[in-house]
Structure 1
Amino acid sequence: MTEDQSDQAGAGSPPGTGALAGIRVVDLSRQAPGPYCSMLLADFGADVVLVEPPGGSTRGRETNSYWELERDPEVSGYAALRRNKRSISLDLKDPAEREIMDRLVDRADVLIEGFRPGVAERLGVDARRCRERNPGLVYCSITGYGQDGPLAQAAGHDLNYLALSGMLETMADPTGRPVPPLNLLADFAGGGLMAAYAIMVALLHRERTGVGQEIDLAMLDGAFSLLSHAASLHFARGADLQARRFFLSGQLPQYDSYRSADGSWYAVGALEPWFYERLLQLTGRPDLGNGHAEPELVDHVRRHLEAWFAARTAAEVDAVLGDADVCVTRVRSFAEGMALAERRGVLVRTPDGVSQIGVAARLSATPGSVRSRPPSIDEHRAEIVAELSTRLPGVARRRVR
């Protein structure tokens, strides 16, 4: 287990010397895209303060084991998204605690929220009010469908955004039934990652002009952005992008998956002619085509590859194709993938001994790091209130339990 990305500090340690050191982020978001966005910023040194409701964001955990697993700040996937951050719990309906929130806004460089349109305004933390207090603030709203339009108030999750964007249709099984993927595409890539990118662009603009701005990021639009290449093919050629009808979604036999005799699956990505020709040579059928599979040979090639893999164990497949440089890879289990992440130094151990995926991008001068464990709810109240020089009797002493 690598510790290269961890400085072994406690929860909420001071921001490091990353490229974003000195950038102050207030994170009001609850669902995964917002916390992932602020995690990316925190990993590179930003001082991220989680503003959490009294009792934390554990809605329903008393009656539903799913929520217990997914929302407890000490466990689950959400723990990783809380690392390198500090936490304060505020009741925004309490005037004294609203003053703390206002002071956080006054000193912030970035504010992230993920409420449905209108909720932030009712809580008094909407973009107009916050930017009146702090014109240099970069205010980022992450929603499913944007701040306006007929879908603005609609509920949704990653699967719904993929369905509306047309992306889910490209993930159907052989019966045509769309298969729900992990919530990585709209939530994390189209939402959190896209938001972090937009925030960095806005901060660069502010550095040049001194002026902040609002970011309206709809995860549906983030999903559309991820479809940029596929959409261009659709518009230019009328390409049918449904599963198994497009060359990158299983239409071609040299870009598909095949099962070995002992049940292992292999991903074959021999798209380029030289990879394809070499694959056919190694599997004993160089006569099936030169370069890309010719239309009349597609079915023949697929049947050949299906039979070739099905007749061999994984060990036998690896003996022939493992080092052949033809873009053939055995499909690993998730546990095997994590073992590879560890060997690559991407898996890190937090100061309290929890394994997490670390920082992907390796910067030579200002690398990111995992500096602190995920905080418990309201853990840094006294520290944050002291920094804000707020003199409200009893506020710093009260802690959410």
Structure 2
Amino acid sequence: MGPLSGFRIIELAGIGPGPFCGMMLADMGAEVIRVDRLGGNPSSSVGHDILFRNRKSIAVNLKHPDGVETVLKLCENADAIFEGYRPGVAERLGVGPEHCQQRNPKLVYGRMTGWGQDGPLASSAGHDINYISISGALHAVGRRGEKPLPPLNLFGDFGGGGMMMAFGLVCALLEAQKSGQGQVIDSAMHEGSAALMAMFYGLKGQGMFTSERGTHMLDSGAHFYDVYETQDGKYISIGSIEPQFYALLKEKAGLPEEDFGMQMNPAQWPEQKQKIEAIFKGRTRDEWCEIMEGSDVCFAPVLDLEEAPHHPHNQARNSFVTVNQVTQPAPTPRFSRTPSETPRPAQAPGTDTRSTLQAAGFTVAEIDELLKAGAVAQL
């Protein structure tokens, strides 16, 4: 059933980091009720939106007073609610922290934004690329002499956003069980991405990390920690940091001692990289896999999204699952006593409106009135 089984969480519909947060919580067994807008997401995406898996969907018109009242009534028997609106929007709709916690003082209220609930940028629009720009994360990613390279929207939206919000909600739920009181979580993606950079801020304080990209051990500066092209135009990754692993790399790849004997001399790294690039282009990716995969070189082939689910290690651990012909990452992490179940596909907006409201204590007549008034909708 998952370790969060028994918790009921309301998700006010959003995109990107919000659905990812909901997915993480639902994957762990929480009952997550997704409050979609009337009209919701296009039907073509239903079942393929992996971020929307594992939860119920009710369609609610939050511009209708009875729609707002519906959400507030759901809060009465919920453990948490979270939203990703700009500051002040939830209050204007009538579903802000004060409105919801007045109905349920133990309710945890999560607020996830790019810039936080206050500060000079709080009301400004933005996306992942902007949030990680002011945290120092974006500037640190890229190769020597080149412009910063956006690392997809992993730092801000997902790592510093949705995952940090899920962590915050679980922390607050744990505290609420002790205190009997809810609280409001202000989760800002720029701060979440800064937290992900904590080690590098520490290295900077020691003089071991500078603003010059691509010159350090972990940012493609070192010849023993990088991605290399192979003869067939594919790629392999090398991470031979420790001396014993580096010695094995030299042995397996046939790196001459006169060129590669000095591992930790940054002045030699550029020349060593040029030489090792030529060596790795001498064989195909699969040939290098036969030589090094499974050894202590710290090696792996660089796989695309089509290849990754078919890698033998991923298959052995069932790291990916297929639901409704959609291949997707399995719930993670894994728990010995309370394992997660196979994911259920995403539901179209409003699929579960009637059944969810009935379970929450609404009578059939009340639900019929809400449907007739346009406050809610049933698919």
Q: TM-score, normalised by structure 2?
A: 0.91
Q: Any idea what SS the aligned residue of 2:111 has?
A: strand
Structure 1 unaligned spans of 5+: 1-16, 59-67
Partner of 1:337: 308
Partner of 1:399: 377
Contact 2:59/2:353, CA 8 A, preserved across alignment? yes
Match of 1:349 among 314, 318, 322: 322
How far apart in 2 are the matches of 1:274 and 1:291?
Answer: 13
Structure 2 unaligned spans of 5+: none
Letter in 1 for 2:319: V
Deviations 1:187-233 (A, max 9, x none): 11111111111111111111111111110000100000000101111
Q: 1:311–1:18: structure 2 CA closer, same or farther, 3 Å change rule?
A: closer
Q: Does 1:361 align with 2:345?
A: no
Q: Does 1:146 align with 2:116?
A: yes
Letter in 1 for 2:320: L
Letter in 2 for 1:51: V
Contact 1:29/1:115, CA 8 A, preserved across alignment? no
Q: 1:177–1:325: structure 2 CA closer, same or farther, 3 Å change rule?
A: same
Q: Any idea what SS the aligned residue of 2:15 has?
A: coil
How far apart in 2 are the matches of 1:166 and 1:176?
Answer: 16
Following superposition, which runs of at least 4 residues in structure 1 exceed 4 angstroms of deviation?
none
Q: 1:231–1:82: structure 2 CA closer, same or farther, 3 Å change rule?
A: same
Contact 2:237/2:302, CA 8 A, preserved across alignment? yes
Tell me which moved more, 93-102 or 44-53: 93-102
Q: 1:333–1:73: structure 2 CA closer, same or farther, 3 Å change rule?
A: closer
Contact 2:371/2:378, CA 8 A, preserved across alignment? no
Letter in 2 for 1:347: F
How far apart in 2 are the matches of 1:163 and 1:72?
Answer: 34
Partner of 1:43: 27
Match of 2:199 among 229, 234, 242: 229
Partner of 1:312: 283
Letter in 2 for 1:185: F
Q: 1:151–1:380: structure 2 CA closer, same or farther, 3 Å change rule?
A: same
Q: TM-score, normalised by structure 1?
A: 0.86
How far apart in 1 are the matches of 2:136 and 2:57?
Answer: 38
Q: Any idea what SS the aligned residue of 1:268 has?
A: strand
How far apart in 2 are the matches of 1:313 and 1:290?
Answer: 25
Contact 1:39/1:84, CA 8 A, preserved across alignment? yes
Letter in 2 for 1:102: L
Q: 1:274–1:241: structure 2 CA closer, same or farther, 3 Å change rule?
A: farther
Partner of 1:209: 179
Q: 1:229–1:174: structure 2 CA closer, same or farther, 3 Å change rule?
A: closer
Partner of 2:52: 82
Partner of 2:268: 297
**Equivalences for residues 1-400 of structure 1 within 5 A:** 17-56=1-40, 58=41, 73-76=45-48, 79-173=49-143, 175-237=145-207, 239-282=209-252, 283-290=254-261, 292-340=263-311, 341-350=314-323, 352-391=324-363, 392=366, 393-395=368-370, 399=377
How far apart in 1 are the matches of 2:58 and 2:132?
Answer: 34
User: Could you tell me how far 1:307 is from its partner in structure 2?
Assistant: 1.9
How far apart in 2 are the matches of 1:28 and 1:295?
Answer: 50
Letter in 2 for 1:197: F
How far apart in 1 are the matches of 2:355 and 2:50?
Answer: 22
User: Could you tell me how far 1:174 is from its partner in structure 2?
Assistant: 5.0
Tell me which moved more, 95-104 or 297-306: 297-306
How far apart in 1 are the matches of 2:117 and 2:359?
Answer: 33
Q: Any idea what SS the aligned residue of 1:122 has?
A: helix
Q: 1:193–1:297: structure 2 CA closer, same or farther, 3 Å change rule?
A: same
Contact 1:27/1:50, CA 8 A, preserved across alignment? yes
Contact 2:213/2:219, CA 8 A, preserved across alignment? yes
Q: Any idea what SS the aligned residue of 2:63 has?
A: coil
Q: Any idea what SS the aligned residue of 2:10 has?
A: strand
Tell me which moved more, 212-221 or 383-392: 383-392
